[in-house]
Amino acid sequence: MDDMIKKAAKDIVNGRHVVALTGAGCSVESGIPPFRGKGGVWEKIDPMKYAHIDYFMKEPEDVWRVLIGEMKNVIDRSKPNDAHKGLARLEEMGILKTIITQNVDGLHQLAGNIDVIEFHGTFAWLRCLKCGKRIKTSDVDMTEIPPRCECRGIWRPECIFFGEMIPYMELVRSREEALSCDVMLVIGTSATVQPVASMPLVAKEGGAVIIEINAEKTPLTEYTSDYIVQGRAGQVMRSIVEEVEKLKL
């Protein structure tokens, strides 16, 4: 593992344009379960129901009950872990340019990263289905379910549900970053959801070194990643950033 940590740190320091792509595995050590694999959210609830826009529009009350139980309460209790802090330190050092994240927990921003592309939107904000007003999720009283705006329209989270398009600007910017980076850190993603899962392929085609950080191998590992630093994201990122600090002395 040590050699891989040193190799990753060297590639990152030598990078001219470093970008990170993060998934749910980056937030597991903050107490937020992943979607797939052992203890994954989708083992308990059906994503094609509770994470699909059609079912939300049909049964908003039912979906909101699950969103509060499985997401809001968990995110409210979560704090950035060493993976988020490591990425924030890399941006602060002027090494990491952008994070493309699939996560909706806002932990990258909380850790201090400025340039974050929220590919699947965010749970930190809600939008009224009737008048379009936006509000911070933390400012909404959730005693009434589904929560409603003053105009009595239903609040919807600004996450991208299955069945919805990825916001165009996020898509364009992510492709631009993937094409122009020369190092991409791919942290804690099963690389199963498109189009975000193709960003490492785009980066690879652009000549980037793809460094995967994951607790286990993924479809990327064999065909796209240059190498995997296998382990928990928090632990691995802490060690890599410590090594980067030494190289930058």
The site for ligand APR (CB under 6 A) is made up of: 23-25, 28-29, 34-37, 40, 47, 102, 120, 188-190, 192-193, 214-216, 218, 232-233
How far apart are alpha carbons 146 and 116 in whole angstroms?
A: 29
Taking CB atoms, the residue at the shortest distance from ligand APR is 25
Closer by beta carbon to ligand APR, 129 or else 215: 215
How far apart are alpha carbons 28 and 212 in whole angstroms?
A: 16
Out of 17, 52, 108, 120, pick the active-site residue. 120
Q: How far is the CB of 74 from ligand APR (least distance, A)?
A: 14
Which residues in 145-226 belong to E strands, given as ranges? 155-159, 183-187, 209-214
Question: Is 17 part of the annotated catalytic residue set?
Answer: no
Instruction: Give yes or no for a contact between 220 and 227, defined as CB atoms under 8 angstroms apart.
Output: no
Both tokens of residue 56? 């939300």
State the burial class of residue 32 (Cβ atoms within 10 Å of its Cβ: 0-12, 13-18, 19+). Answer: buried
CA atoms within 13 A on the CB side of 193: 21
Closer by beta carbon to ligand APR, 146 or else 200: 200
Instruction: Give yes or no for a contact between 50 and 66, defined as CB atoms under 8 angstroms apart.
Output: yes
Active site residues: 120
